Amino acid sequence: MSLLEIEDLRLHIGNLPILKGINLTLGQGKVMGLVGESGSGKSMTALAVMQLLPAAIQASGRISFNGISLLGAPEAAMNRLRGNDIGMVFQEPMTALNPVKTIGEQVSEGIRWHTRASRAEAEERARRMLDRVGLPEAKFPLSRYPHELSGGQRQRVVIAIACALAPKLLIADEPTTALDVVLQKQILELLRDLVDEHKMGLLLISHDLAVVADMSDRVTIMRNGEVMEAGETAHTLSQQRHPYTRQLALASMHVPDRGEKAADRQGPEEARSAPLLSVNNVTRDYPHRRTSLFGKPGVFRAVDSVSFTLDEGQSVALVGRSGCGKSTLARMILALDRPTSGTINLSGYDVSALPEAKLKPARRNMQIVFQDPYGSFDPRHKVERLVAEPLHLLEIAPSISERRDMVADALDKVGLAPADMDKYPHEFSGGQRQRISIARAIITRPKLIVADEPVSALDVSIRAQALDLFADLNARLGVAYLFITHDLTVARAITDRVMVMHEGKIVESGRTDDILDRPQSDAAKALVAAAPDLQRALERRLARIGRI
Amino acid sequence: MSAFLAKRLLIGLVTLIVASIVVFAVLEIVPGDPALLMLGMNATPEALEALRSQMGLDQSIPVRYFNWIGGMLMGDFGRSWTYSSPVLDLIIERGIVSLPLAILSLFLSTAIAIPVGIFAASRRGTIADSASMGAAQIGVAIPNFWFALLLVYLFAVWLRVLPAGGFPGWGAGIWPALKALIMPSLALALPQAAILARVTRSAMLEVLGEDYIRTARAKGMSRRTVLWRHALRNAMIPVLTILGLQFAFLLAGTIIIENVFYLPGLGRLVFQAITQRDLIVVEGVVMLLVASVVVVNLVVDILYAAVDPRLRVKA
Amino acid sequence: MSAHQAAPSRSFGLLLHAFGNRSFLIGSAITVLIALVALVSFFWTPYDITHLVVANKMKPPSWAHPFGTDHFGRDILSMIMIGSRNSIAVALVAVGIGMGIGIPIGCWAAARGGWVDETLMRMNDIVFAFPALLSAVMITAIFGPGAINAIIAIGIFNVPVFARVARAGAMSIWPREYVLAARASGKGRAQITIEHILPNIAAILLIQGTIQFALGILAESGLSYVGLGAQPPMPSWGRMLFDSQTRMMIAPYQALFPGFAIVVTVLGLNLLGDGLRDLLDPKLRRER
């Protein structure tokens, strides 16, 4: 008898099926990776095991945990299991903790609830547990509140809550998706160690094949509420017998064909003209929240004396952990924020000092693509108006028909039909929206596009297409990119140069391959070591199997 | 914590200062000469002049403003022209009716509304929920003075268990005095309770949809325990905001309700003073009411900080 | 996160929801009905209320006078019909004043931020510190009672309400990426406010509008009740209730019907506001 057995699990809301007969088995002390793109039903599977599904969802089939049937189990029985024998870690650490309770209360609460331990005993156990997840009491006393912790630290608290009573089964639903790669690595290692220590079964839900390949013994690949393929991790992912598995694996290792790399086209011996963008000694300070009414507020230095140049047609990645200042730098380059000191020059215009009225010519030459394909459009405007918005920057406003032609042309360039301009953004999928976002960015034929994590919110297969599009536009239109990302695979796929940013400073920069293969600075080394890599993960796993 | 409170305190002070200027200025432009009003149409110019200088009306506006402010700070609110007694005495005499009335109705509305709101939220979608929220919906729509009339008809005219109006004074004993305040405070409390119950319910429902509620449920705690231990305290934040706002409504409500029940309270005092152009009384009472709103808001802010640790950052 | 189905078309989906929303249906029906009654009263009422028939005074409800007659023999139903004009006009204009001044203030504060925001919002707090009805009593008492002064008094207290709601709404829109994109397209604060902010906060302002409309009707009836609203012979619901009070022993029905009129109108508007909130509030109906 396995620890967790799911047989023919079906979920539906009314007549709409969500899960169409899921089968899954997880043994004690084993790790099962549940992989799928958004909408595949992997989170719903997890919530069904916890019996925490929204009330509107009806379930049928069989879920048994340690021989106990969970589906339709009475609420009181589930309450005894949850938190005691089954623990769960959620995706969003920023909202998973109650803001008005201390971390000590939140960890010890479950312990007291299940063991009837005294407050002091429960707190002692909570203290040990928090220490175990890397929050030692000396630095993180039980009296801390969630808002005093960072995202990674909060996720550690969530893990402490889930593992406080050493459950037999731990469910982790995208536990690291909201974190940067370095934190991701730390959290995954912590999970792995806890699973080993307590012989827990782990159901790890992820959209990232590399993470799953690294962590799990077996994988189950889901799509649209169905299991596509399931089996031993290394075999399943390396043999790729199922076409969808193959598609996913290819997409997650996808590198766009960029032909001759831009950096090579432009030999170093060639006399270069003036750079497109030059950033000189730029610093940006933010005042701290005031500590007392009359005291002088301190400052937080988000960007610290950064200098670099970017040539026409060049594709550069600005990589770094979350909070390293890369987005602040991007906003200053786009003249959406002003530096505290230093200058930024884009094709002859000082965008760090010019007044808004004189920025028009510079703004024509730089546009932006955002991360979130949902939030980057005004939901009340049609695509035509959205894509045409930067035309505001032209000196002579185009006529209505000219405007439609330009929008149609831009949509065509990103692979959308001109007829799409009469639709609203909510009628498009995430990947299509990102194309619209790119169409908006290229309509004024800018020389520079700043892209802030442009593919990190996309599913892997769509992400591969988006990367192809970026590469294609770079080759065809000669537009330069500044890619802001914490994901080194994106940097490797699409850029010539990489700059590594850490605590407001650029600590390393050079050719992409050089930096990613031979990082020098600690910050770059940490990023490279933490980047999930499907190929390497599979190799490691196969080697381990070979040894056994 | 201290910075947060210091800022709130400063804002409250500025509010009071600006309010005093506004009140003074508004009453300054009121048509009609108070001295003339007091002495009547056939007063001699000499008598008028003498009265004006006695009242300080011949001084410049800034001087009169500062005299007024300074006086109030020293506890001297001036003398009423119609009652010919110190304004402070009037305020105290009337305040001992209005203050218990306001406290009683605030207590009533909270005691009714918060349990009802929590109850409805915890049984979302049931008949009990729809029924209590339907009642609240109607309660919000009822004007408090009409509700007061209905109460009078029911309890005074028909059942004859409570007095229809008037106030015997606290000297007549606690119970007769309280009896006179029961209907007025009910009339004031009901519409407020209806609003508060709705706010409590929707705040609870919003909190119950948060991720941390799911985290707590995943610990194995029952729905009910999670509701009390995790949801309630978070839901109290918007409820406190509404309570603070409602206090101002209650104060204003006393003007009308005291008129319905012929209660000799501050509301009735200020209403009569306005119609009789007894401006010094109006100024004093309005400032007192504004000050109490400011103080209540400050208390609400302190409670916020007590409920929500995010406001206590950087002590 | 449950699977949200993309509606085939936004407006069609909204319409479909509207017919399934009980609050919205009942609320809009009542609101339309009251508006119709007010309109009809301009052309026709069961009786002419300027015509006093003393022989008919204090008649309890009957087929001839469904709501009875008052102490001058006037038909109460006709009085209520005409009184609705006054309530609606006062509350509507007061909402207009509040929106007309409050929304620009709120949008400006949100767009500028910093000290402009701080100053405007502190001014708001100061207005809030005056209990609304108290100030209304002051204003009407000083400038004389009457419908116009009641409108101004109620309107002033709508200003900070709309300023706050508009500011809060605008503040939630400003950090959105589409606003950043508009800024990267060189658009100024005013243009962004008109093109992106206002259309996206229109729904919450509309909802607040119905709430303030309802509160305005309550406030107007209160002012009329204490004699500071519309002046006789213009009938108003609050005044009718005041008149009924002294005759409560002999003619309690006189206090009943004007009160019902207020409750039904306010209830209708509040239901409409609730329904609109369910239909339009993005918090409840996420687009995805």
Average pLDDT, chain B: 86
Q: Which residues pair with A36 in a beta bridge?
A: A222
**HEC-encoded secondary structure of A441-486:** HHCCCCCEEEEECCCCCCCHHHHHHHHHHHHHHHHHHCCEEEEEEC
Q: What's residue A409's pLDDT?
A: 92
A77 to chain B, any CB pair closer than 8 A? The answer is no
Q: How far is A293 from chain B (nearest CA, A)?
A: 6
B17-44: average pLDDT: 76
Q: What's residue C11's pLDDT?
A: 61
Nearest to C177 among A13, A370, A392 (CB): A370
Decide if B290 contacts B19 (C-beta within 8 A).
yes
- The proportion of chain C whose per-residue pLDDT surpasses 70, expressed as a percent, equals 90
Chain C neighbors (3+ CB pairs < 8 Å): A, B
C-beta atoms of B293 and C129 within 8 A: yes
For residue B25, the Cα-to-chain-centroid distance in whole angstroms is: 23
Name the DSSP class of C44: -
Nearest to B211 among A92, A100, A290 (CB): A92
C-beta atoms of B146 and C263 within 8 A: yes
Radius of gyration of chain A (CA): 26
Write out the two tokens for C279.
Answer: 């239909």
Inform me whether the pLDDT recorded for C9 exceeds 60: no
C176 to chain A, any CB pair closer than 8 A? The answer is yes
Q: What residue segments make up the domains of chain A, in order of their start?
A: 375-429+436-442
3-state helix, strand, coil in chain C (%, to 5): 75, 0, 25
Among C152, C94, C161, C153, residue whose Cα is nearest residue C121: C161
Residue written as tokens 């010890």? A108
Inform me whether the pLDDT recorded for C122 exceeds 90: no
> Helix (H, G, I), strand (E, B), or coil: what is residue C33?
helix
State the Cα–Cα distance between residues B212 and A318, nearest whole angstrom: 34
Average pLDDT, chain C: 84
Going from the C-alpha of B243 to that of each of A99, B239, B294, C124, the distances in angstroms are 22, 6, 13, 18
Inform me whether the pLDDT recorded for C286 exceeds 60: no
C236 to chain B, any CB pair closer than 8 A? The answer is no
In a mutational test of the C interface, the residue from A378, A456, A484 whose CB has the highest number of chain C CBs within 10 Å is A378
Write out the two tokens for B268.
Answer: 């009735």
- Phi/psi at C247 (nearest 5 deg)? -105, 25
**HEC-encoded secondary structure of A233-286:** HHHHHHHCCCHHHHHHHHHHCCCCCCCCCHHHHCCCCCCCCCCCEEEEEEEEEE
State the Cα–Cα distance between residues C263 and C89, nearest whole angstrom: 17
Q: What's residue B313's pLDDT?
A: 57
Amino acid letter for position A5? E
B 232-251 near C (Cβ less than 8 A): 245, 248-249, 251
Q: What angle do CA C57, B152, C30 make, to 5 degrees?
A: 70
Q: Which residues, 6+ apart, have CB-to-CB distance to A303 below 8 Å?
A: A282, A283, A284, A325, A328, A329, A332, A339, A504
pLDDT bin (cut points 50, 70, 90) of residue C285 is very low
Q: What's residue A385's pLDDT?
A: 92
Q: How far is B144 from chain C (nearest CA, A)?
A: 9
Q: What's residue A438's pLDDT?
A: 92
A90 to chain B, any CB pair closer than 8 A? The answer is yes
Query: Which residues of chain C neighbour A374 with C-beta distances below 8 Å?
Result: 288
Q: What's residue B314's pLDDT?
A: 44
A289 to chain B, any CB pair closer than 8 A? The answer is yes
A175-193: average pLDDT: 89
Long-range CB contact pairs, C50-54, < 8 A, 24+: C50/C233
pLDDT bin (cut points 50, 70, 90) of residue B132 is very high
B277-301: average pLDDT: 86
Q: How far is C81 from chain B (nearest CA, A)?
A: 19
C266: exposed, middle or buried (Cβ count in 10 Å: 0-12, 13-18, 19+): buried
C-beta atoms of A293 and B212 within 8 A: no
B136-144: average pLDDT: 92
- The total of other beta-carbon atoms located within 10 Å of residue C190's CB is 11
CB pairs under 8 A between A and C: 69
For residue A418, the Cα-to-chain-centroid distance in whole angstroms is: 31
Nearest C-alpha in C relative to B32: C142
Q: What's residue A268's pLDDT?
A: 46
Q: What residue segments make up the domains of chain C, in order of their start?
A: 21-52+69-287
State the Cα–Cα distance between residues C212 and C100, nearest whole angstrom: 13
Inform me whether the pLDDT recorded for C287 exceeds 80: no
A431-436: average pLDDT: 89
pLDDT bin (cut points 50, 70, 90) of residue A16 is confident
- The proportion of chain B whose per-residue pLDDT surpasses 70, expressed as a percent, equals 94
Inform me whether the pLDDT recorded for B32 exceeds 70: no
Inform me whether the pLDDT recorded for C263 exceeds 90: yes
- The proportion of chain C whose per-residue pLDDT surpasses 90, expressed as a percent, equals 38
pLDDT bin (cut points 50, 70, 90) of residue A271 is very low
Amino acid letter for position C111? A
Q: Which residues, 6+ apart, have CB-to-CB distance to C77 below 8 Å?
A: C45, C46, C65, C66, C67, C257
State the Cα–Cα distance between residues A11 and A34, nearest whole angstrom: 17
Inform me whether the pLDDT recorded for A342 exceeds 70: yes
Name the DSSP class of A26: E
State the Cα–Cα distance between residues C74 and C79, nearest whole angstrom: 7
Among B139, B137, B140, B308, residue whose Cα is nearest residue B238: B308
A161 to chain B, any CB pair closer than 8 A? The answer is yes
A359-382: average pLDDT: 87
Decide if A179 contacts A156 (C-beta within 8 A).
no
Strand A448-452: give its sheet, edge to edge. A366-369, A448-452, A480-485, A315-319, A497-502, A505-511
Q: What's residue C109's pLDDT?
A: 94
A27-37: average pLDDT: 91
Q: Which residues, 6+ apart, have CB-to-CB distance to A27 below 8 Å?
A: A2, A3, A201
Q: What's residue C288's pLDDT?
A: 27
State the Cα–Cα distance between residues A412 and A427, nearest whole angstrom: 18
A141 to chain B, any CB pair closer than 8 A? The answer is no
Name the DSSP class of B205: H
Q: What's residue A94's pLDDT?
A: 85
CB pairs under 8 A between A and B: 91
Q: What's residue C10's pLDDT?
A: 54
Q: What's residue C6's pLDDT?
A: 39
pLDDT bin (cut points 50, 70, 90) of residue A4 is very high
Decide if B287 contacts B20 (C-beta within 8 A).
yes
State the Cα–Cα distance between residues B110 and B188, nearest whole angstrom: 12
State the Cα–Cα distance between residues B147 and A409, nearest whole angstrom: 67
**Higher local confidence (pLDDT), A34 or C140:** A34
Phi-psi region of A339 (alpha: psi -120 to 50; beta: other; left: phi over 0): beta
Inform me whether the pLDDT recorded for B41 exceeds 80: no
Q: What is the DSSP code string of C218-275?
A: HHHHHHHHTT-SSPTTS--HHHHHHHHHTTTTT-THHHHHHHHHHHHHHHHHHHHHHH
Q: What's residue C14's pLDDT?
A: 65
Inform me whether the pLDDT recorded for A269 exceeds 60: no
pLDDT bin (cut points 50, 70, 90) of residue A201 is very high
C-beta atoms of B211 and A95 within 8 A: yes
- Phi/psi at A227 (nearest 5 deg)? -85, 125
Nearest C-alpha in B relative to A75: B222
C-beta atoms of C181 and A370 within 8 A: yes
Strand A277-287: give its sheet, edge to edge. A299-310, A277-287, A341-346, A349-350
Inform me whether the pLDDT recorded for A5 exceeds 70: yes
Condensed to tens digits (0 to 9), the pLDDT of residues B182-240 reads 999 999 999 899 999 999 999 999 899 899 999 999 999 998 999 999 999 999 988 98
Condensed to tens digits (0 to 9), the pLDDT of residues A124-145 reads 999 999 999 999 999 999 999 9
Q: What's residue C88's pLDDT?
A: 92
Q: Could you tell me the fold of the domain covering C21-52+69-287? A: MetI-like fold (1.10.3720)
Q: How far is B44 from chain C (nearest CA, A)?
A: 26
State the Cα–Cα distance between residues B237 and B233, nearest whole angstrom: 7
- The proportion of chain A whose per-residue pLDDT surpasses 70, expressed as a percent, equals 95
Q: What's residue C8's pLDDT?
A: 42
Write out the two tokens for A430.
Answer: 């995430």
B157 to chain C, any CB pair closer than 8 A? The answer is yes
Going from the C-alpha of A7 to that of each of A29, A44, B118, the distances in angstroms are 20, 15, 39
Q: What angle do CA B48, B51, B55 make, to 5 degrees?
A: 135
Strongest mean pLDDT among A99-103, A297-301, A465-469, C45-49: A99-103
Q: Which of A102-111, B50-59, B63-72, C67-76 shows the lowest per-residue confidence on average (mean pLDDT)?
A: B50-59
Nearest to B249 among C129, C131, C274 (CB): C131
B253 to chain C, any CB pair closer than 8 A? The answer is yes
Condensed to tens digits (0 to 9), the pLDDT of residues C61-106 reads 888 888 888 877 788 899 999 999 999 999 999 999 999 999 999 9
A99 to chain B, any CB pair closer than 8 A? The answer is yes
Inform me whether the pLDDT recorded for C5 exceeds 70: no
Inform me whether the pLDDT recorded for B47 exceeds 70: yes
Query: Which residues of chain B neighbour C261 with C-beta distances below 8 Å?
Result: none
Among A144, A143, A111, A140, residue whose Cα is nearest residue A125: A111
Q: What's residue C214's pLDDT?
A: 92
Decide if C17 contacts C279 (C-beta within 8 A).
yes
Nearest C-alpha in A relative to C282: A379
C-beta atoms of C125 and B137 within 8 A: no
C-beta atoms of A100 and B234 within 8 A: yes
pLDDT bin (cut points 50, 70, 90) of residue C284 is very low
Domains with residue ranges and CATH for chain B: 94-314 (1.10.3720.10)
C-beta atoms of B251 and C270 within 8 A: no
Name the DSSP class of C285: S
State the Cα–Cα distance between residues A347 and C22, nearest whole angstrom: 60
